[in-house]
Chain A
Amino acid sequence: MTSLLQAIGRRGAASPRELPRLRLPSWAVSWIQVGPLALILIVLFALPTVLFLVVSFFDYDRVGIYPAFMLDNYHDLLTTPATWRVYVSSLKFAFIVWAITLFLGFNVAYFLVFHIRTAMVRTVLFLLCAIPFWTSGIIRTIAWIPFLGRNGAFNQILMDLGITSKPLEFLLFSDFAVIVTYVHLFTLLMIGPIANSLAKIDPALMEAARDSGASRWQTMVNVVIPLSKTGIALGSILVFTQVMGDYFVVRQMSGGQSASIVSMLSTEIQAMQYPPASANAMVLVVFVAIMVACMMRVVDVRKELVN
């Protein structure tokens, strides 16, 4: 009895946090919180990726696929000139689109973050940039067809202004149309991360640079750009991987003149040629992974994001 009273007394004296409650170590709490997300990514992303790595070594014929370990699928893929052509053409698109979206995205983000003084106007302008993103990418792609076509709105405007006397033909179903569509679809992916980085810059730093006699350009190169490189890297990764993974825009807008890696791959999938399709997929995944890893070397994205 006395010992019980003593126990109660002791308990009362202790701080409320030490009540007999189940206390998990903090890492275990984190695991429980992160667990469901991790499980889904492992089962639905990591395992299927391992699966098509395995299938890429399989044998196949017109009837089915057979477990094997052969490198023929890779050999066939890498010795076909068409593969190299498609990779070169996709890389070309990716590079051009990256340069344009970086220029546009950085300047738009800079304008929104540093030149717009009221938060409300900034939010409205940012939403104006984001709203087209809510419309299906497929519809936004074909929206360019009546705009760029021979009798399209753009040609009409040019002729009404007297800039050209007859409609420009190269606008639609060309590399030009593909690039315009990509830029239209993906610039927001650049604006978002860069604006996020820019918003974290303490304006006092820029004033300090100016007070120390830096010109506008020097402040930009030595202060703003280094401090926004996380956003630039993230935006670049998003734009690059979207272009490399695209198979709708090129097919629709190039008028059959160009192919993309994934459209080549989807033709094989439709023909049920899973092993070569898997090999093709594996090469693309490794390629994209290397490029992304290079971009992530520039900046420790994880440290910047998670803190």
Chain B
Amino acid sequence: MLAGAPRATDGSRPWTFYALGGLFALFLLFLYGPMLVIYVLSFQGPNGGVTFPMVGVSLTWFQGILQAGQMANIPVAFERSIMLASVVSLLTVVFSVAAGLGFRRNFPGSGVIFYLAVASLVMPSLLVGFGIGLGFKFLGIDTGMFTSALGAQLTWTLPFGLFAMFAVVNRFNRAWEEAATDLGASAWQRLRHVTLPILLPGIIGVAMGAFTLSYDEYARTTLAIGPNNTLPLEIYALISSATSPTLFAIGTVTTAMSFLAIGVTLVVVLRMQRRRGLAAPKEG
């Protein structure tokens, strides 16, 4: 099938496979090494600190997440982050899927919008928040989570969603749509029963991507958030005041939740593919 190098008939791998495989293993070690350290340290005993050695084992720092501290109120900030990320994710999906479909035709102004999206993506993040914060100040409007902060995050998730949609739409075979039209489907029926179902795995990817980008977003949000902090901003406040293993406990919980979210999505996508496989055994 895919061959990067000469393949012997006995199925043995070329030396490059082992070299790159070794590099990949080292890369994973590099990626997870420090993460494993913080997972371990998040179970630090109540008298322990942010470095080794471990002073006993406890769940103290996980309880610390749930308590509203003096410096940071993690549960409330977490709730805000989830709400904001859900709204951002929804808007990103609707607008970037529509735009992705729109970009399949060439239209006057498409170049300008494309480069606007590129610029918005590569703009140093803090500056976007700075500009929006400044704009609100000039207009005399208070910055807030669902106004300026939402907007600041959309300048980041929308270009991401648009580019992800390009990749999704490129693999889409337009013959499906033409077939639907020839069979008498209206534009709406074609979208609802043909285009969207085929693009669905990609659309779920965009939704998840936008959600996590928003959930982790810090630099664009910080100057546009107003009085109420989201979770990353609250974490930042915690770091600047005092480092405690609570930060690591947050990291552990976040990772566990990521694994859960990925697992659930994988199961859903696999089920969808299987169902589709049953309905239409030959899929192009």
- A positions within 8 Å CB-CB of B: 16-17, 26-27, 29-34, 36-38, 40-49, 51-52, 55, 104, 107-108, 110-115, 117, 125, 127-129, 131-140, 142-147, 149, 151-154, 156, 183-184, 187, 196, 203, 206-207, 210, 216, 237-238, 241, 244-245, 247-248, 252, 261-262, 265-266, 269, 274, 277-278, 281, 284-285, 288-289, 292, 296, 301-302, 305-307
Cα–Cα, bound, A282→B96 (Å): 28
State how many angstroms separate the Cβ of B40 from the closest Cβ of chain A: 9
- Set of chain B residues within 8 Å of A136, measured between Cβ atoms: 216, 218, 231-232, 235, 250-251, 254
Cα–Cα, bound, A153→B53 (Å): 10
State how many angstroms separate the Cβ of B179 from the closest Cβ of chain A: 14
* A41 engages B127 (CB within 8 Å): no
* B98 engages A135 (CB within 8 Å): no
* B34 engages A144 (CB within 8 Å): yes
- Set of chain A residues within 8 Å of B20, measured between Cβ atoms: 107-108, 110-111, 115
Contacts A203-B2, A285-B127; is A237 near B52 (CB within 8 Å)?
no
Q: Which residue of A52, A115, A206 has the most chain B CB atoms within 10 A of its CB atom?
A: A115
Chain B interface residue count: which class?
35 or more
* A128 engages B28 (CB within 8 Å): yes
Known: A40-B158, A113-B2, A114-B4. 12 other contacts (CB 8 A): A34-B103, A45-B119, A47-B135, A114-B3, A136-B231, A142-B38, A142-B243, A144-B34, A147-B33, A203-B3, A216-B5, A244-B124
Contact with A along B63-107 (1 / 0, CB 8 A): 000000000000000000000000000000011101101110101
- Set of chain A residues within 8 Å of B247, measured between Cβ atoms: 139, 142
- Set of chain B residues within 8 Å of A125, measured between Cβ atoms: 24
- Set of chain A residues within 8 Å of B126, measured between Cβ atoms: 245, 247, 262, 265-266
Chain A, residue nearest B218 (CB): A138
- B positions within 8 Å CB-CB of A: 1-6, 13-14, 16-17, 20-21, 23-24, 27-28, 30-35, 37-38, 41, 50-53, 94-96, 98-99, 101-103, 105, 107-111, 113-128, 130-132, 134-135, 138, 151-152, 154-155, 158-159, 162-163, 166-167, 170, 181, 184, 212, 216, 218-219, 223, 231-232, 235-236, 239, 243, 247-248, 250-251, 254-255, 258-259, 261-262
Cα–Cα, bound, A296→B111 (Å): 14
* B107 engages A146 (CB within 8 Å): no
Q: Could you give 13 example pairs across A and B, Cβ below 8 Å?
A: A37-B99, A41-B113, A48-B132, A51-B138, A128-B31, A129-B28, A134-B258, A139-B251, A142-B247, A146-B37, A146-B52, A203-B3, A216-B16
* A277 engages B254 (CB within 8 Å): no
* A269 engages B223 (CB within 8 Å): yes
Contact of A252 among B41, B125, B138, B239 (CB under 8 A): B239
Cα–Cα, bound, A104→B22 (Å): 12
* A277 engages B130 (CB within 8 Å): yes
Chain B, residue nearest A114 (CB): B4
How many interface contacts (CB-CB < 8 Å) are there between A and B? 293
State how many angstroms separate the Cβ of A249 from the closest Cβ of chain B: 11
Cα–Cα, bound, A112→B121 (Å): 27
Cα–Cα, bound, A136→B262 (Å): 16
State how many angstroms separate the Cβ of A113 from the closest Cβ of chain B: 7
Chain A, residue nearest B251 (CB): A139
Cα–Cα, bound, A114→B131 (Å): 44
* A284 engages B27 (CB within 8 Å): no
* B116 engages A40 (CB within 8 Å): no
Contact of A51 among B24, B41, B135, B236 (CB under 8 A): B135
* A206 engages B3 (CB within 8 Å): yes
Contacts A48-B134, A110-B20; is A40 near B151 (CB within 8 Å)?
yes
Chain B, residue nearest A203 (CB): B2
State how many angstroms separate the Cβ of A29 from the closest Cβ of chain B: 7
Contacts A108-B24, A117-B1; is A135 near B158 (CB within 8 Å)?
no
* B102 engages A32 (CB within 8 Å): yes
Cα–Cα, bound, A115→B12 (Å): 12
Contact of A306 among B3, B17, B114, B212 (CB under 8 A): B114
* B262 engages A196 (CB within 8 Å): no
- Set of chain A residues within 8 Å of B23, measured between Cβ atoms: 104, 107-108, 111
* B236 engages A138 (CB within 8 Å): yes
Cα–Cα, bound, A142→B17 (Å): 34
Cα–Cα, bound, A260→B3 (Å): 44
- Set of chain A residues within 8 Å of B151, measured between Cβ atoms: 40, 43-44
* B258 engages A135 (CB within 8 Å): yes
